[in-house]
Amino acid sequence: MVEPLHVAVLMGGWSAEREVSLMSGAGVADALESLGHRVTRIDMGRDVAQRLAEAAPDVVFNALHGTPGEDGSVQGLMDLMGLRYTHSGLETSVIAIDKELTKMLLVPHGIRMPKGEIVATESLYEADPMARPYVLKPVNEGSSVGVAIVTREGNYGDPIGRDVEGPWRHFDRLLAEPFVRGHELTVAVLGDEALAVTELMPVKGFYDYDAKYTDGLTRHVCPADIPHEIAEAAMAMALKAHRLLGCRGCSRADFRWDDEQGEAGLYLLEVNTQPGMTPLSLVPEQAKYRGLSYPELVQRIVEEAL
């Protein structure tokens, strides 16, 4: 029998991923209650410190996604308040949410990532920063928020049109990376173990925010139908990145794999320190494949925080 705890589930907030966070938080809260824990649900507002102080929980389950719940801000607040909380701490969160900082830390340790450069949005209306096809993405957002693949045949224009919808209309700076053809893969790490490799196959287009969180738009193949050595390499790379970044609890590493290049075509794109916990999310799916139910997964993440 698990010793009952008072767990505050922090969810919602005001990032672009608010709705997903609310779904994650609701699932987590229900699972905790099914295990006999006392749960206080907190939809994060500007009064979050007061709400947490009033709740005085044994531990906080951080189910926030994006800023300020995943970028170190909330982690610093909870550190100051002396609260124990799930997932990664302040320093790890600051680095992992920033794709350029993540590259600076991981690449020197032998983790292959696409070479990229930070570009001013205004410059895109004059000329491409690199040969097409390339990817443009916000420097510090998650869940494929605001990602665009710029191709020769695309409808963004050449150069990109100022009035065409895309991440350039919402961010002053963007990360430009060469597009890696091939397969979309992801690996969850729980504690100190890589769980599995899932291949993500969007019904159309690419694995963007809508494809990630809309039922029926993406097919998940778990375990991925890829060569054993590629799966092993992806899991090893995900675990190494998790350790180098100092992640706690669980993380999820996203990859692209160019099957024409073998293992040399496997590239880490980013590490998510607070992966989704919705019914469509990948960490619960991989945990289930490894024999862990959703409540058991939630319990494991809470135990890591303690």
Which residues are designated catalytic?
Answer: 17, 143, 213, 252, 254, 270, 272, 276
**Could you tell me the CA-to-CA distances from 14 to 19, 77, 99, 223, 228 in Å, in that order?**
9, 17, 21, 34, 41
Cβ-Cβ contacts under 8 Å for 47 (sequence gap 6 or more): none
Residue 271 three-state SS: strand
Residue 294: how many other CB atoms lie within 10 Å? 20
Burial of 116 (0-12, 13-18, 19+ CB in 10 A): buried
d(CA 163, CA 138): 18
DSSP of 27-91: HHHHHHHHTT-EEEEEE--TTHHHHHHHH--SEEEE---STTTSSSHHHHHHHHHT--BSS--HH
Residue 91: how many other CB atoms lie within 10 Å? 13
Provide the β-strand partners of residue 270: 254
Residue 249 three-state SS: coil
Q: Which of 29, 16, 34, 46 is nearest to 209 (CA)?
A: 16
CA dihedral 235, 238, 240, 244 (to 10 degrees): -170
Q: Which residue has the tokens 């993405």?
A: 137
Residue 110: how many other CB atoms lie within 10 Å? 9
